[in-house]
Structure 1
């Protein structure tokens, strides 16, 4: 059963209604200039889950600024998603945000019924001009994933890296491919074990999958899911984090992490809402490193332990990414073991 929560916090967003935008233009005043925007978040996983937690962090920042008022529901099943969407639409929220990877068609049908409400949804698909109030986003953090792969390639002594993901959908696939490309650039002989657990939040299953990879020779794990770093810690191997930085919890295990900063995406939406120009668009670009949407976490406890050759390559590639001289490939196809 979905959990509804009106506390300030676990993610948020905002948007404007078409009617309000027209009215603002007519009166010659900016839309929503004074009052916070009412935002509802709908999530299929607990808000502690990596991906969703980053949206929550950005929403909390926006709420602290006074830009939004925020309510949310977590653990909403895909079969119940449309119903909860409609409830929040009827409740007077001006923007609804969430992730519709398993409920794409249903979510778009609801959005079509409420053209005065803005929808910004994590999605594997693109925006549709025929549905002008439905925008999409995703965590395009392949830039930092590539850099973390360089570090992983330099730290693996066995040349065998295990990768545990949730589902082989574009948002996961592209990060894995970028990581693999970085590791291979550092060590062309690297081999990969790739597996998907069929869940966004099943730490025990992810942990067991990682154990199997360690038994099969890996000494470095790509922790796309919770549970992988626990296995690495127990078996004394290393791990690379994804989306969030968990090194404080695994100081001898997590070497580096590709961090997703949702603030640029959210701030862009805030600006569009306040100006009355929110429309169907792909917000994915605001997750790129050049936009501040992704960074490589500090090495922290692994400072001085990563080979200098890897650090030099990371610095070189990062500068080239920022200047546009190096572009990390966005490969959404399902990766496989080598």
Structure 2
């Protein structure tokens, strides 16, 4: 599914005509732009995918790439769409292969001259299958500190999609951060077994509030809605939704995909792309993650707590404190 609207295609055609009149061949300029395709199993607005989509759109806006993408691709159709994009001359294909790992790696083998950059729990596959992941456990730890310092009931609820490493490591880091400032905090943990089902996530969150949780970790869409309706706080994940929930979302761990995407584009353009793990580019030292500004909660969080978080951030960036990467499924501790 192309991202180009009809009106945009008309505008591009008009621009090409002007280039011809000025003696510049559009094909010459087009050769400088990489052709990039992306395949997503969920809507563009879903948290995780929205960050990849945003980074690729930024590269397109800079004139570096020609970008097309498909959203809501079923697992059964994923391989077919990958092959179509590979045969259409795209030089880099981006996507998430967690549920279609074997099929995605098979396609990469069949197209050794195409670069593949896929979200994956697995290892790179020579010569052209690179992997990335949302290693944003560092800001997740910091948001956990905030939650641990603000809870009054000492009960925090966490709602996630699936208990896979990409989710587990963030929840575990969040829980560890909360424990640092509040050893008495307890956790409720629920997985909805879906990447995009806001009503189901909302219901799971309601059940936690009914059991005494006064802060919710919103790993999925729908959780912040539950927090807003019940008048409690929420911690965001991957994106900052505070503008939608100004009295609810107190902090968020943000994932910035630009460092990962820009590194891959540079490698493809220079002819140096190879099978690598791009996961490190999601970490804070590379600008791949950060904690969102406090915004509407700037003056609502105790100064002492903010100071502790700021000190922890400095230690993380100085590499004198390392947030453990724990990919094991988090265990609930609330009675």
Secondary structure of the 1:181 match is helix
1:103 aligned onto 2:100: yes
Unaligned runs of 5+ in 2: 6-28
1:299 aligned onto 2:283: no
Within 5 Å, which residues of 2 pair with 1:43-122?
43-122=40-119
By how many angstroms is 1:309 displaced?
2.2
Aligned equivalents of 2:319, 2:144: Cα separation in 1: 19
Secondary structure of the 1:290 match is helix
TM-score under structure 1 length normalisation:
0.90
Aligned equivalents of 1:5, 1:48: Cα separation in 2: 16
Q: CA RMSD in A?
A: 1.2
Residue 319 (structure 1) aligns with: 314
TM-score under structure 2 length normalisation:
0.91
Residue 285 (structure 2) aligns with: 290
Query: Mean alpha-carbon deviation: is it higher for 51-60 or for 221-230?
Result: 51-60
By how many angstroms is 1:34 displaced?
5.6
Runs of 4+ in 1 over 2 A off after TM superposition: 5-8
Residue 215 (structure 1) aligns with: 210
Match of 1:35 among 24, 29, 32: 32
Aligned equivalents of 1:274, 1:35: Cα separation in 2: 9
Residue 18 (structure 2) aligns with: none
Q: Is the 8 A contact 1:42 1:85 kept in 2?
A: yes
By how many angstroms is 1:33 displaced?
10
Aligned equivalents of 2:133, 2:183: Cα separation in 1: 30
Q: Is the 8 A contact 1:33 1:274 kept in 2?
A: no
Aligned equivalents of 2:305, 2:83: Cα separation in 1: 50
Aligned equivalents of 1:132, 1:313: Cα separation in 2: 45
Aligned equivalents of 1:140, 1:33: Cα separation in 2: 34
By how many angstroms is 1:7 displaced?
2.3
Aligned equivalents of 2:305, 2:94: Cα separation in 1: 39
Unaligned runs of 5+ in 1: 9-31
Secondary structure of the 1:5 match is coil
Q: Is the 8 A contact 2:149 2:305 kept in 1?
A: yes
Aligned equivalents of 1:6, 1:90: Cα separation in 2: 18
Q: Is the 8 A contact 1:97 1:119 kept in 2?
A: yes
Match of 2:127 among 113, 132, 147: 132
1:248 aligned onto 2:243: yes
1:236 aligned onto 2:231: yes
By how many angstroms is 1:5 displaced?
2.5
Within 5 Å, which residues of 2 pair with 1:1-12?
4-7=1-4
1:266 aligned onto 2:238: no
By how many angstroms is 1:154 displaced?
0.8
Larger radius of gyration: 2
1:147-203 per-position Cα deviation (integer Å, ceiling 9, x unaligned) = 000111111110000000000000100000000010000100100000000000000
1:121-162 per-position Cα deviation (integer Å, ceiling 9, x unaligned) = 00111113xx31000001100010000001111111100000
Q: Which has the higher contact order (CA 8 A, sep 6+)?
A: 1
Secondary structure of the 1:334 match is coil
1:33–1:178: structure 2 CA closer, same or farther, 3 Å change rule? farther
Aligned equivalents of 2:210, 2:311: Cα separation in 1: 35
Residue 16 (structure 1) aligns with: none
By how many angstroms is 1:84 displaced?
0.7
Aligned equivalents of 1:57, 1:187: Cα separation in 2: 36
Aligned equivalents of 1:85, 1:275: Cα separation in 2: 23
